[in-house]
Amino acid sequence: MIALKEVSIVPVPVKEKLRAVVSDLGSQARVASVLGVSRSRVSRWLRTEQPDPDNRRKVEGLEFVLTRLLELYDPENAVEWLLGHNPFLRGARPIDRIAQGRITEVLGAIDAEQALSYA
């Protein structure tokens, strides 16, 4: 029998993920626009408050999706892609799918978009 080493997993705090998203997109205002919240809300999340569960999911999903999306687009076009109606998502907006926790669908749309860019 193989003995497994015990590993302690420490999740990355949402505040750190939010900082990464702000860095990737270039401003708190742009992040606020993508998340559909006020700039002051993003600022408070970065300083003292925790986002509510729905916005926490959006931040975490956005951080994950941006890693892939920024391989294809600059930040401005990535924001447009997130907020635009996407044919690979049957006309839905990727940011709405992220908010619903449907990250796999958004990643599939990115894969499809990437496949078209190589065609």
Query: Is residue 8, in this structure, part of any structural domain at all?
Result: no
pLDDT tens, position by position, 46-57: 999 999 998 998
Query: Is residue 62, in this structure, part of any structural domain at all?
Result: yes
Instruction: Provide the domain limits for residue 106.
Output: 14-118
Query: Is residue 2, in this structure, part of any structural domain at all?
Result: no
Q: Which residues contact 115 (CB under 8 A, 6 or more apart)?
A: none
Query: Is residue 72, in this structure, part of any structural domain at all?
Result: yes
Query: Is residue 20, in this structure, part of any structural domain at all?
Result: yes
pLDDT tens, position by position, 10-44: 678 899 999 999 998 889 998 998 888 999 999 99
Query: Is residue 3, in this structure, part of any structural domain at all?
Result: no
Query: Is residue 22, in this structure, part of any structural domain at all?
Result: yes
What is the number of structural domains in the chain?
Answer: 1
Which ranges in 8-102 belong to alpha helices (H)?
Answer: 14-25, 28-35, 39-47, 53-69, 75-83, 94-99
Query: Is residue 80, in this structure, part of any structural domain at all?
Result: yes
